[in-house]
Amino acid sequence: MKDWALKDRGSLKEAVIVTILVPLIQFGMHLLGWGNGMFAWWEVLLAAPLTGFLYWAFTSAFRKYANEDVTPSSD
């Protein structure tokens, strides 16, 4: 990725939070009896970093263009 993606500290912090919350929510729902039993515990732990990485990639890419004017011109 480019330097701008690594400089976006907000996206990095949010991605870490998402990575931690994915297994916690999955296991919590299972403990409450509301889980669907679709994934084993090791599958959830493997997918959590992937989910965090995808979250970071998308949010940092969108934030790169957040301050640009995208309104159509009426020429």
- 38 within a domain of the structure (yes/no): yes
Number of domains in the chain: 1
- 74 within a domain of the structure (yes/no): no
- 75 within a domain of the structure (yes/no): no
pTM for this predicted structure: 0.68
Residue 36's pLDDT band (boundaries 50, 70, 90)?
confident
pLDDT value at residue 12: 86
Q: How many other C-beta atoms can be found within 10 angstroms of the C-beta atom of residue 31?
A: 9
Enclosing domain of residue 20: 2-69
Higher pLDDT, 63 or 48: 48
Average pLDDT, the chain: 82
Which residue is it, tokens 């084993």?
40
User: Given a cut of 80, is residue 3 above it in pLDDT?
Assistant: no
- 61 within a domain of the structure (yes/no): yes
- 9 within a domain of the structure (yes/no): yes
pLDDT value at residue 10: 79
- 32 within a domain of the structure (yes/no): yes
Per-residue tokens: 35: 């889980």
